[in-house]
Structure 1
Amino acid sequence: MGPPSKNVRTISQEAFDELVKENIEDLGLDPTEALEDAIQTLTLQGVDLSGIVTCVPGEGNVRENPVIKCLERLKEMRLGDNDLDEMVGLLDELVGLLTGVEGSGNVAIGVRNGGLELVCSICSNIPIVSEKVLVSALKTLALLIHDVQSTEMFRSSDGPKMVVGILKDGNESLEILDTGFAVVAAAATGNEVVKELLMELKIDELILDVLNRQSKGNIQGLYDSIRVLLTPDDYRVVASQVYGYARRFAKIGIARALVESLRSGLASPSLVSASVALKAVAVNDEICKSIAESGGIDVIFKYIDESGEQGNGIVARACCSLLSKLAGSDSNKSAIVAKDGINKLILLSARFSDDPSVLQEVMSIFTVLCLRSPDNAARAMEAGAGDLAIQAMEKFSNVQQVQKNSCLMIRNLAVRNPENRTLLLSHGIEKILRRAKVKHETCREAATDALRDLGLDNYNS
């Protein structure tokens, strides 16, 4: 989510409609030309038209927009028993409109016309026992919160307190938990203040409680919330607090609980999300070691083996990315090697020899394992890591990340192991590295370092 341009201007629906009307009455344009001229003129002036209903003018046209019609009807409703079924229908219709045709602008139209505040109010007033309507409202709210401005609207509507209250009161319902945490993830994205408010409301303790009681199923929104809460993604903040939040998560036991979630055998989407969440918590050596001590490395290798057998590249990539993070701890490096990890990773790379996204993650693990460890570099080379790098660089010469990760791995294979240098050079690695250096700007520094640590004098040329 990038920062909005400082030059962006906004316009109201009424002012836009008036401009189109003036084009018709004063310039004599037909309605279609008047609309196109207004859009073009305002766009050239840097006016943000998101959320504006751009239609040929005519009585009731704007009010006939399906998003606005849903919102208008919802505003008229009361929370009596007779209205709940209709409210669910309207909210579900709104969800369909917000997730429908890409580029429709329906989300922005909904927010600009008071939809976010309205749905926040509905969520605040629906009793937990009315689960069906509450779930529909939470789904709608998660879709309406889509940028920094809408997260600020959510904060101003006392949204953090409201959603935490719903999660606490509705913690027996998987649907309420999943949709509620989806709102948490949406609201905390790109907004450091919302993250802070949620932490003040002890969202971490709520997350731990749900993880520990998660016997009926897996909650995708919960894993997404952990990832977002621990991601420093607010461009307005110089120093994010998320590193401290991650340590707090680990201290109360969330890392251990996530390992247990993985151990329980998740379906692929939740498995990937749980792996990403655990990686977000693993911010220092102590936490990485604690994850290994909880059986995290064993669980990861179980899924690495299974993903290779099943050809599931998405799971393989997520597990390798997590393992690369955990390998940053020296004690974990030893544990990975002791569990025959090097051979397991070489086998995985053979199974995914046509998938550069998996290969680059495998090479990232080898890079970390071989850092300041000549023994690991010797073992990796003997297992075939050098061949992996050469073959990947030859096969995927246009994939920048494969090229860069290969350069980094080759450097760590060679820097403390003269015998590895001889083998790599005899297999033509110099020519391959120089090609990557010339072809990819992002590889220039890594390739230069690899050439230098291979013992070549003209590494900088």
Structure 2
Amino acid sequence: MAKRRITQETFDAVVRENMEEFEMDPDEALKDAVEQFESQGVDLTFIVKAVAAVSCDNNQEKQTHEVLQSLESLRIGKDCEVTAGIKSFTDQCSLGFAQRYLAAEKGAYPIILSYCKKGLEEQDAMLASLSALAALTDGQPDILDAEGRQCLVDVLKKFREDSSVTRVAIRVVRHCCLKHEQNRQDFVKAGVLPLLTGAVTQHSGCAELVKEASAALRVMTFDDDVRVSFGHAHEHAKMIVLEHNGLKVLIESAKAHLGNNSVLSELCATLSRLAVRNEFCQDICDYGGLKLIMSLLADSYESSELVRQVVSAIRAIAGNDDVKDAVVAAGGVELIVIAMNRHMSNPAVCEQACACLSVLALRKPNNCKVIMENGAALTAVQAMNTHSNSVNVQKQACMLLRNLVARMDSYSQPILEMGAEALIRQAVQTHEDCGDVGKAALRDLGCEVELKELWIGKHGSITN
């Protein structure tokens, strides 16, 4: 059931009433208003939970929030106040989504966009205006229109030499494309993809820009807009690779930032999203990507976030059977198990490690042998025991155990002796999403399992 919503004015009126009628101090009045509305099931996500400031307007006192005060100064547009106004507005929008939402509701977008268009002739003004637009659009991609989209493309073209402006403009593009399929498609049609890959190449030494551009490219491959039945995620990934040489651009950029784990994590995450075809997986290897990824796993296994993204990248490119063998031959299994043991307390690492090993084992008996010899099955069982509440860890571990025995019956008994059966049964009982994969693992391990026959091919209703 959807929660009730109220306006900012309604919330502010209750806070003011608490202060004036019940003589509460501001903090107490605010706290009481929040508790009152939450107890009534009201959604306060879009409400600025702060006491409105008092300002003077035509010699009359007026209560308003700081973000709207900053917006009003920009609306008036006095030259002496513009710089301070834009900075104040940006700072206020950065405080939280409620401030951004309130600003957008009060017409902030066209005002900020007008400053962006004016700033096309001056770098400092452009940077400040874009920063304000980036703050405003964070979580609000719907406010972008065709005029704003064209302005951003123009900025990326005109300021391509300027890493600071380019970086912030790309951030706006990313914000506007996240969870918004139409914006993604419109930006691609407007030619943003070569601008993004070109920015990575041109400013390969600028870590923050590389991260921002890589993240924007990755967002272009998302299928996260629930309002759209079918997106262009796959098509965009193919365009980035085939038309704009995205794989080589990202791999070469990674080589330039070998000491920067945050940049490397971002690049690995994007490579994972681009490995959508068998030949792309092979291309990553041919460009030196697999060698790079393996060296990252060996040298940076202390960083849980980098390990997670590296293992995820290996999982993605191992969709190619030849790459599976290359990973195993390069000692990938041993490195993954070491990393998993090192970060056993991290469910995200355990999930990706089990999933990656599961892919390496699929239809590959020789790989299964290497995986068993390196103790991966026992590590997976330990992960199931450690993260019994994580449905994703349970699912991926079950899948790994199943793939290990699917073509190698001799591994069933050793895995059962590790205590796998009890853990799998517990996962099936605890997590509904583990039902199918858990029962399949039990079946292939030779355990008794009740498989429900949902349909027997006869006319009539489905019977249990």
Given the two structures, how large is their TM-score scaled by the length of structure 1? 0.85
Cα displacement (A) at 1:117 = 1.6
Task: Report if aligned partners of 2:269, 2:313 keep a CA contact under 8 Å in 1.
Answer: yes
* 2:298 corresponds to 1:305: yes
* Bigger relative contact order, structure 1 or 2 (CA pairs below 8 A, ≥6 apart): 1
Note the C-alpha offset of 1:290.
1.4
Question: In the TM superposition, what is the alpha-carbon distance from 1:242 to its structure 2 partner?
Answer: 1.8
Q: 1:182 aligns with which of 171, 186, 192?
A: 171
8 Å Cα contact 1:191/1:234 also seen in 2:
yes
Cα distance in 2 for residues equivalent to 1:459 and 1:375 = 31
C-alpha spacing 1:390/1:113, structure 2 compared with 1 (3 Å): same
* 8 Å contact from structure 2 (residues 112, 133) kept in 1: yes
2:141 counterpart letter in structure 1: T
Query: How far apart are the structure 2 equivalents of 1:374 and 1:160?
Result: 52
Question: Could you say which residue in structure 2 is the equivalent of 1:154?
Answer: 144
Q: What are the residue-to-residue correspondences of 1:57-72 with 2, within 5 Å? A: 60=56, 62=62, 64-72=64-72
Change over 3 Å in CA distance of 1:216–1:431 after alignment to 2: closer
Aligned to 1:87: 82
Relative distance call for 1:293 and 1:459 in structure 2 (3 A) is: farther
SS in 2 for 1:283: coil
Q: Does the 8 Å CA contact 1:117/1:154 hold for their aligned counterparts?
A: no
Please point out which of 217, 222, 226 is paired with 1:235. Answer: 226
1:124 alignment counterpart = 117
Of 428, 451, 459, 1:437 maps to 428
Say which is worse superposed, 221-230 or 344-353, in terms of deviation: 344-353
Q: 1 CA distance for matches of 2:421 and 2:94? A: 50
- What are the equivalent positions in structure 2 for 1:69-80 lying under 5 Å apart? 69-77=69-77
Mark the CA change 1:435 to 1:122 in structure 2 (over 3 Å): closer, same or farther. Answer: same
Q: Which residue does the alignment assign to 1:396?
A: 387
Residue 360 of structure 1 corresponds to which residue in structure 2? Answer: 351
TM-superposed CA distance for 1:90, in Å, is: 2.3
Q: 1:207 to 1:443 in 2, by over 3 A?
A: same
2:162 to 173, 178, 183: 173
Shift of 1:63: 5.5
One-letter amino acid matched to 1:74: L
Equivalent residue, structure 2, for 1:406: 397
Shift of 1:431: 2.2
CA distance in 2, matches of 1:37, 1:396: 39
Residues 3-56 of structure 1, C-alpha deviation per residue, up to 9 Å, x if partnerless? Answer: x96x9777585x988x879x99xxx96697999889968996979893679857
Give the AA of the match of 2:87.
Answer: D
1: CA distance, partners of 2:437 / 2:425: 11
| Aligned-pair CA distance for 1:59 | 7.8
What's the offset of the Cα at 1:210? 1.4
Specify the code of the residue in structure 2 equivalent to 1:68: L
User: Distance between the aligned counterparts of 1:365 and 1:178, measured in 2?
Assistant: 33
1:332-367 Cα offsets, whole Å, 9 max, x none, are 111111212112222222322333322221111110
- Aligned pairs, number: 439
Q: What is the SS of the residue equivalent to 1:50? A: coil
Secondary structure in 2 matching 1:315: helix
Is the contact made by 2:170 and 2:212 (CA closer than 8 Å) also made in structure 1? yes
Does residue 50 (structure 1) correspond to residue 46 (structure 2)? The answer is yes
Q: Distance in 2 between matches of 1:119 and 1:222?
A: 23
SS at match of 1:458: coil
Q: Is the 8 A contact 1:313 1:358 kept in 2?
A: yes
Partner of 1:288: 281
Residue type at the aligned position of 2:439: T
Q: Deviations over 1:262-298 (max 9, x none)?
A: 1222522222222222222222222222112211111
Structure 1 residues 279-334: Cα deviation after superposition (integer angstroms, max 9, x where no partner): 222222222221122111111111111221xx110111111111111111112111
- Specify the SS of the correspondent of 1:235: coil
Question: Is residue 2:375 matched to residue 1:384?
Answer: yes
Matched-pair contact (CA < 8 Å) for 1:407–1:446:
yes
* 1:231-266, Cα deviation, whole Å (9 max, x unpaired): 111111111012111111110201221111112225
* Cα distance change of structure 1 residues 125 and 438 upon mapping to structure 2, 3 Å threshold: same
Alignment-derived partner of residue 413 in structure 2: 422
- TM-score, scaled relative to structure 2: 0.84
Percent pairwise identity? 24
Instruction: Give the SS at the match of 2:363.
Output: coil
Q: Which of 325, 330, 333 is matched with 1:339 structurally?
A: 330
Distance across 1 between alignment mates of 2:433 and 2:451: 15
Q: Deviations over 1:106-131 (max 9, x none)?
A: 21221122222211111011135x32
Segments of structure 1 that go 5 or more residues without pairing to the other structure are none
CA separation of 1:300 and 1:134: change in aligned 2, threshold 3 A:
same
Q: Secondary structure at the match of 2:144?
A: helix
Residue 425 of structure 1, CA deviation: 2.1
Cα contact 1:185–1:225 (8 A) shared by 2: yes
In the alignment, structure 1 residue 262 sits paired with structure 2 residue 251 = no
For the aligned residue pairs, the C-alpha RMSD in angstroms reads: 3.3
Answering whether residue 87 of structure 2 is matched by residue 98 of structure 1, we say: no
1:43–1:432 Cα change, 3 Å: closer
- CA positional deviation for 1:165: 0.7
| Contact in 1 for aligned 2:355/2:400 (Cα 8 Å) | yes
Q: Secondary structure at the match of 1:258?
A: helix
Residue type at the aligned position of 1:392: A
Distance 1:57 1:183, change over 3 A: closer
Moved more, 235-244 or 429-438: 429-438
* Residue identity in the other structure for 2:328: V
1:272 to 254, 260, 265: 265
* 1:126-175 deviation line (CA, Å, top 9, x unaligned): 135x322222221211121134xx4232115x111101110111111111
Runs of 4 or more consecutive aligned structure 1 residues displaced over 3 Å after TM superposition: 7-13, 28-64, 457-461
Q: Partners of 1:265 and 1:259 in 2: how far apart?
A: 10
Uncovered stretches (5+) of structure 2, i.e. residues with no partner: 453-464
In 2, Cα distance between the equivalents of 1:153 and 1:202? 20
3-state SS of the aligned residue for 2:311?
A: helix
**Residues 75 and 31 from structure 1, CA distance in 2 versus in 1: closer, same or farther, beyond 3 angstroms?**
farther
Which is worse superposed, 378-387 or 244-253?
378-387
- SS of 1:186's partner is helix
Secondary structure of the residue aligned to 2:300 is helix
Within 2, Cα distance between the matches of 1:354 and 1:46?
37
Change (3 A) 1:305 1:39: closer
